[in-house]
Structure 1
Amino acid sequence: MTETPQPRPAETYAEVEDALLSRWPETKLEPSLDRIRAFTELLGDPQASYPVIHLTGTNGKTSTSRMIDTLLRAFDLRTGRFTSPHLEKINERICLDGEPLDDEALVRAFNDVAPYTHLVDQSEPFPLSFFEAVVGMAYAAFADAPVDAAVVEVGMGGTWDATNVADGAVAVVLPIAVDHAQYLGDTAAKIAVEKAGIIKPGATAVLAQQEPGVTEVLLARATEVGATVVREGLDFGVIDRAAAVGGQVVSMQGLRARYDEVFMPLYGAHQAQNAVLALAAVEALIGHDGPLDEDVVRAGFAEVTSPGRLEVVRRSPTIVLDAAHNPHGAEAAAAALEDSFSFDPLIGVMGVMSDKDAEGVLAAFEPHLAHLVCTQNSTSRAMPAEQLAAAAIEVYGADRVTVVADLADAIEAAATLAETGGTSSVGSGAVLVTGSVVTVGEARALLRPRDDHGRRS
């Protein structure tokens, strides 16, 4: 009997990236947990060795995951965090104690699981996908650390998402709207059926306010599996919030106590909602003995960051990055811009994916943008800049739309317009780069300053 040759261990980040990207992309789906189950079983079911807070919803998953992670660490717990997609590097998806794995740790995490990926590829009808391989790497790395708790964001949907091989002790369902309609369904209620799959027997389901049809689906699932439900607006919620220098101040009713005037360095009502969901999730996991220590909660929220979510990366003119890629996210970002800033003019740079609701995103930003520069990111899924511009002209008019296909040139053109096109004081103009996580990630790579070792700050 001949032995299957073992793959050569990866030695560099580039080799890991190449090996992972040679697998099925995240956009190619075959709804089954068979491969990821086979994979994690070979790895010793690492996802069962720590409690998991599992998050789904249409928007806000990454920001809320980061808040939960930061709060748990404020309480001296060791954390693992899995989020997707990444802005700049795959490492961002797998974090220990709030920090992405460095390149050496990523190589080790890949080499630890690589022999088993090939066993699964040979035994299943379809090979492991990129996403399934990275999920397995994350779960194994968290067990190896070991972590006290893992914060895990679904890739897409819920029931058939590879992350769902873990049984979350807490399931957080953020607001559900229509996105990925070709995969998940064309109404929020249909999408909710898929997302409800992360609610497991005996779990606590932390539910954001939803439209009635969505709430009905989520409550039915919780009843079916015997999960405890806590709901925004009934059991917890934002009491009030106010914009502040560098972020906002929020008063929140948690599950067991009220937390007043908590500063958070993020902008917008949607981030306040994310914050109270994060608070409730942490209370559900570790707050069984009563209220959380208010000073620790304050310290945690004061440290929260969310790259690419209304992130100011440059001044003179101000350049803001926001990864809004569907109408729901665009409306939240636009409202936050209005709430927290007074830019004049605000120039948009937008690059979207071809499978997204570009018209809805364009319409959401239209009242807030003086001019729009249509561009595209470097991926094959990107909508061509000319095609986006044709849709934009229908919404903005031809005099408010420019096409610059190269992203760096588009940002430069927008910055020039921001500096010269205002009606008020010089220097109040700004640029918003938006439309896609990939577009924002590429813009971030162009704009973020580097330190002496070539790392971005």
Structure 2
Amino acid sequence: MAPAPDSSQREAARTLEILQRLREVEESILARAPEHDLEPSLDRIRAVMELAGDPQRTYPVIHITGTNGKTTTARVVESILREMGLTTGRFTSPHLHTLLERIAIGGRPIEAEKFLRAYDEVLPLIELVDARSAEDGEPRMTYFEVLVAVAYAAFADAPVDVAVIEVGMGGSWDATNVADGVVSVITPIALDHQHFLGNTVGAIALEKSGIIKADGIAISAQQDDPAVTAILAERSEEVGAQLAVEGEQFGLEGAEVAVGGQALTVRGLAATYPDLFLPFHGVHMAQNATLAVAAVEAFLGGGEQELDIEVLRAGLAAATSPGRLEVVRRSPTVLVDAAHNPAGATALRDGLQQAFTFTKLVGVVAILKDKDASEMLEILEPVLDEVIVTRTTSPRAMRPNDLGELAKGIFGEARVTVVDDLPDALDRAAGIADESGVGGGVLATGSVITAAEVRLLLGVTDG
């Protein structure tokens, strides 16, 4: 007769069972319409939330939209709130390595068992709404809508004191918008996802302004186009929300390069906060942190209560933003950045010029075929001595030869190498950087997937 399994064996078997179920659930969710298929309707996600008892109304929400900087801003907001003793939920997208990264509780990716528990809670409701949709000849819920439903249920189950929610795309019709943010944050708005959101910055701003809700407070980054600020102001007035704009009611007073990041002085809504250490590089990251400080002030005291500066310092210092101008290896230095549009490439270029002094920087660039690759390459050309163009494993990846032709027209043929797969491209770039001596470095960029796959190749998997 075989001996009964001991507790460690039972635990291992249980862990294996959970991981197997998680894989099955992920496959089931991935089989749905992809998250970049945006439909102008909240009917399905609203129906599921109503059937679930509207869990998203059981905690206050800080809602974040914009074109670039959303995830970093969300992570900094959350880090400050956690330092203040609050239990936080955080929903961001896309993920770098695992689906669980998108839903964080207490600053850590949700545990697989808790994810599955929340999924099992909402699955019967999702299936009911899917069945109703099928009867009406409408599509079933999308990948992103399902994840939003799971996140909102998981945060209610935790329970959290506050949820920091990043939109997936846009604002008004984004599935996250079934929640009403007491604070709405708008990062810089630029052209991206035009086929869904509109072909002008104004049209995109109008869509994103939909997260500003009645009696809330909207916190906006300084926008390049004054028309964007005017649209946000009009929406705020329409719904009776307050609007605070960077450069007017609050702003970044100073940013100096420091070891491992930068030292900031931030003028908030309620006070000025000097000597803040931010462990990120680039003025765009400092501006994201400035938005985060104002958002926390708005949330905790309506923008009228000064934050405890020591708690604020600790919250900023503890913040992380994987895949954003991140050093993932030394000797040679390898940076990854998830820039995937011209505005992101501009912020990346400026951050490199402000914070790094490479004697030779080799780019490893892989871009998705629906992005403005030509403009991104033009923006990055001044900071890259050589560029190796390649592709990720994404089916949406641009073919290396096509990207190479664009790059040669911008960099010149002598500075461009085409390598068919990312691991070989990274090896080639590291070799060139090594040969150039101590000042050589590698930058891998072009998409979130590029940053994620390079991190994985170098054994960096935290998200």
* Common topology (TM > 0.5): yes
Hey, what does 2:29 align to over in structure 1? 20
SS in 1 for 2:89: strand
Once the two structures are superposed, the pairs formed by residues 46-85 of structure 1 within 5 Å of their partners are 46-85=55-94
Hey, what does 2:193 align to over in structure 1? 180
Q: Tell whether the 8 Å contact from 1:157 to 1:194 is kept in structure 2 after alignment.
A: yes
**Aligned to 2:183, which of 170, 184, 200?**
170
Q: Distance in 2 between matches of 1:140 and 1:189?
A: 34
Once the two structures are superposed, the pairs formed by residues 7-156 of structure 1 within 5 Å of their partners are 12-124=21-133, 125-156=138-169
Q: Distance in 2 between matches of 1:111 and 1:94?
A: 16
Identical residues among aligned pairs (%): 52
SS in 2 for 1:393: helix
Hey, what does 2:272 align to over in structure 1? 258
**Aligned to 1:414, which of 429, 433, 437?**
429
- TM, length-normalised to structure 1: 0.94
SS in 1 for 2:256: strand
Do residues 202 (structure 1) and 215 (structure 2) align?
yes
Do residues 158 (structure 1) and 167 (structure 2) align?
no
Q: Deviations over 1:36-73 (max 9, x none)?
A: 10111111111111110000001000000000000000
Deviation, 1:11, is: 5.1
Q: Tell whether the 8 Å contact from 2:366 to 2:390 is kept in structure 1 after alignment.
A: yes
Q: Distance in 1 between matches of 2:259 and 2:163?
A: 32
Q: Distance in 2 between matches of 1:238 and 1:269?
A: 9
Letter in 2 for 1:185: G
Q: Distance in 2 between matches of 1:141 and 1:290?
A: 30
Change in 2 beyond 3 A, CA 1:59/1:308:
same
Once the two structures are superposed, the pairs formed by residues 275-354 of structure 1 within 5 Å of their partners are 275-288=289-302, 290-354=305-369
Hey, what does 1:391 align to over in structure 2? 406
SS in 2 for 1:379: coil
Q: Tell whether the 8 Å contact from 1:12 to 1:104 is kept in structure 2 after alignment.
A: no
Q: Deviations over 1:418-445 (max 9, x none)?
A: 111x3xxx22111100000011111111
Deviation, 1:370, is: 0.5
Q: Tell whether the 8 Å contact from 1:10 to 1:111 is kept in structure 2 after alignment.
A: no
Deviation, 1:456, is: 5.4
Q: Distance in 2 between matches of 1:127 and 1:22?
A: 11
Q: Distance in 1 between matches of 2:462 and 2:312?
A: 29
Letter in 2 for 1:324: A
Give runs of ≥4 in structure 1 deviating > 6 Å.
none
Q: Distance in 1 between matches of 2:28 and 2:412?
A: 45
Q: Tell whether the 8 Å contact from 1:158 to 1:195 is kept in structure 2 after alignment.
A: yes
Greater displacement, 439-448 / 244-253: 439-448
Do residues 232 (structure 1) and 243 (structure 2) align?
no
Q: Deviations over 1:133-154 (max 9, x none)?
A: 0000000000010100000000
Once the two structures are superposed, the pairs formed by residues 412-451 of structure 1 within 5 Å of their partners are 412-420=427-435, 422=436, 426-449=437-460
Q: Distance in 2 between matches of 1:150 and 1:456?
A: 21
SS in 2 for 1:301: helix
SS in 2 for 1:12: helix
Hey, what does 2:288 align to over in structure 1? 274
User: How many residues end up aligned between the 2 structures?
Assistant: 440
Letter in 1 for 2:92: T
**5+ residue gaps, structure 2:** 1-17
Q: Tell whether the 8 Å contact from 2:327 to 2:333 is kept in structure 1 after alignment.
A: yes
Deviation, 1:101, is: 1.1
**Aligned to 1:193, which of 183, 203, 206?**
206
Q: Distance in 2 between matches of 1:293 and 1:176?
A: 31
Q: Distance in 2 between matches of 1:372 and 1:100?
A: 34
SS in 1 for 2:117: helix
Hey, what does 2:11 align to over in structure 1? none
**5+ residue gaps, structure 1:** 1-8, 450-454
- TM, length-normalised to structure 2: 0.93
Q: Tell whether the 8 Å contact from 1:10 to 1:16 is kept in structure 2 after alignment.
A: no
Deviation, 1:382, is: 0.8
SS in 1 for 2:359: coil
Q: Distance in 2 between matches of 1:58 and 1:22?
A: 27
Q: Distance in 1 between matches of 2:383 and 2:199?
A: 28
